[in-house]
Chain A
Amino acid sequence: MTISRYQIRLERIHHASPARWTAVTVGSILLALITCGIVLLISGENPLTVYRAMLDGALGDKYAFSETLVKMTPLLLTGLAVAIAFRMQLWNIGAEGQLYLGAVAASGVALFVLPDASSWVLIPAMLIAGAIGGALWGAVPGVLRAKFNANETITTLMLNYVAILFTQYLVHGPWRDPQAFGFPGTAPFPDAAALPHYQTYRVHLGLVFGLVAAVMLMVVLRRTRFGYEIDVIGDNPRAARYAGMRTTRMIIIVLAISGALAGIAGMSEVAGIGHSLQRSISPGYGYTAIIVAWLARLNPIAIIAVSFLMSVILVGSDQLQTAIGLPGSVGPMLQGAILFFLLAGEFLTNFRVHIQRVAVEAELVHG
């Protein structure tokens, strides 16, 4: 007697074609738009109106476009930061904290170390300080992972809050502006500390930092020994050691570089936008960066495009408040949905599902 039974078997796909995963990426964005649209509908809003208002708010006029570029800058830099770490299978969730530390370091230079320097000295100094501040904040989890095998997902996460609290401490305490009545924040930076911006718009040099960093990262990853080692260590640390690569050193270096990029993002925020250090300088860029990096499949050039897209969503949803009276939470909702659908869709790019019919001989056991 033969019985049929269905069996599901998973086969890992080694190399999904670009067509396959482009379809998945685009599909997930579409599905996210539809799902959030349904939520909007249920809440009594017209999704098309909402989306149109978002696009308008982000790209409708030159000013809006500039604002989109403004928000894109930190997303681009932190996206790159996250991507370089993720490429080596180092789960840096701490870009947010590294951004804050970079901002703190840059602010320190602007306010106390070189307050009277000219722009030509001060801005590079702030840039270096921001990079070092972020690098330190990335290197600490790097050392903990390299020497003690402490999971970097948790250590970087915890250090986020330490960094934010430290910033708040400075801003409420020793660095507080004595002349600001009741508002926590440092004194405004010297004029020389402001990043040049384009005409009267708010978009500033930080965007250039980001674009340059993206190109540099691409070159480093593709064309240097360093990038080569990142690829190999990320795929198989054992084979990397067999090939003579110094994996422990690389862990620390890569996390430091990752932190440095996020630190530059922090520097660019305080030098380009805030012109002082406040208790909150980021609405979660470091976390959004993870979405950016993941959506861009860790490719630096794609990160440019994706950070722009995410910024459109962010800025667009911020504008909803003024435009049609909706809270700005539509943005995070949409971003979360996109990421979710992407994760679900990745299943299709990672595995091929075989549903097989298995003919099975049923045994007459007693006989």
Chain B
Amino acid sequence: MDSVWSINFLVAVLAAAIPAGTAILFACLGELLSERSGVLNLGVEGMMLMGALAGVAFTIWSGNAWVGILGAILAGAAMASLHAVVTVGLRANQVVSGLALTLLGTGLSAFLGRNLVGKPLPDKFGDISIPILGDIPKIGEILFQQSALVYLSFVVAPIMWWFVFRTQAGLHLRSIGENPAAADAMGVPVNWLRFLYVIIGGGFAGLGGAVISLSTNPGWTEGMTAGRGWIAVALVIFAGWNPLWAVGGAYLFGGVQAGQFQLQTVGVGISPFFLNMLPYLFTILVLVIASGDQARKRIGAPAALGRPFIREER
């Protein structure tokens, strides 16, 4: 048996961390967009579940897992549009609306999926080794022997970073989350954009759910996201609302989950429960740090997060 500190062990853990973190990463990226626009969406868990279910349902119906992905994205976006209408359109409390969405998504997915439990999938996302790159020792095993969805995430995250920080549209996204009154005065359509980003965020959450139901644990089971939606919400904070840091954080959090299995096989006795607590505790720590005056400006929450924008009350 390899010792904990052997390279093979490390490679195994990292190779497992990446797929474990990918679902979280997609959901996190979606929530990141929503929060950057100023809207807090605590319904990620519900959206992921609906996405997971839709992914399975569409895959079974069409025989093609990519159609399942499409269905998952649509399901997540549809759920998120409820949140958008209620919080952006009707100026309702964002926290409560998000929780209602989680509840709705949990119940609805369990109900609609009751006949799909345990059904085998005609198609799923298995590991694909990329020629040449996949043969690189160690690195290849970690990075290039993953599923197509993981490769998708490798591409999406940096593009999102570029979008948020290096494009005009991303500038507007950031401005409506930081100072919607100023953005509005400069002609940026605050509420329209918030609508858009909340819905896009939901699509990503749905995609994250499908990663679980079409790749990690193929098939549908009630509540199969097992709290990963909440970890995604935590991850946004941990990552300082930055897509690239979210990648690292997702693999870290995913690694914690994957790693405990590996740790047990080598007989290390850290209770898995305490390991699982780490993402949440770290997030609290980061939040406290990021709430300080100086830090808030660099890694803190968008200043207008959680508050509806009403021009007459500017």
Contact = CB atoms under 8 A, between A and B. Distances in A.
A149 B291 contact: yes
B4 interface: no
Contacts of B2: none
Contact of B95 (A153, A162, A344): A153
B97 A333 contact: no
A55 interface: no
A287 interface: yes
B8 interface: no
Contact of A151 (B100, B104, B287, B313): B287
Interface in A311-352: 326-327, 329-337, 339-340, 343-344, 346-347, 350-351
Given A148-B291, A148-B292, A290-B99, A10 B312 contact: yes
B96 A155 contact: no
Given A158-B234, A165-B273, A332-B103, A43 B86 contact: no
B273 A347 contact: no
Interface stretch (A107-115, A166-174, A200-208, A231-239): A166-174
A340 B276 contact: no
B73 interface: no
Count chain A CB atoms within 10 A of each CB in B95, B97, B111, B230 and give the residue with the most: B111
Contacts of B196: none
Tier of interface size on chain B:
35 or more
B284 interface: yes
B133 to A, nearest CB: 37
Tier of interface size on chain A:
35 or more
Majority secondary structure of chain A interface residues (helix, strand, loop or mixed): helix
Given A169-B273, A329-B106, A344-B86, A155 B95 contact: no
A212 interface: no
Contacts of A70: none
Contacts of B96: 290, 294, 339, 343
A12 interface: yes
Nearest to A336: B104
B107 interface: yes
A327 B110 CA distance: 8
A305 interface: no
Contacts of A340: 82, 86, 97, 100-101, 104
B92 A329 contact: no
A291 interface: yes
A351 B85 CA distance: 15
B288 A39 contact: no
A154 interface: yes
A308 interface: no
B273 A150 contact: no
Contact of B107 (A149, A151, A333, A351): A333
A166 B272 CA distance: 10
A287 B277 contact: no
A72 interface: no
A144 interface: yes
Nearest to A334: B107
Q: Which 7 A-B pairs have the closest CB atoms?
A: A336-B104, A332-B107, A333-B107, A329-B110, A336-B103, A169-B273, A339-B100
Given A43-B111, A329-B110, A332-B106, 4 more contacts: A157-B233, A161-B277, A329-B109, A334-B107
12 contacts: A10-B91, A10-B312, A11-B312, A154-B234, A154-B284, A173-B273, A326-B111, A331-B107, A333-B104, A336-B107, A336-B108, A344-B85
Interface of B: 40, 42, 46, 82, 85-86, 90-93, 95-97, 99-112, 114, 222, 227, 230, 233-234, 237, 271, 273-274, 276-277, 280-281, 283-284, 287-288, 291-292, 301, 306, 310, 312-313
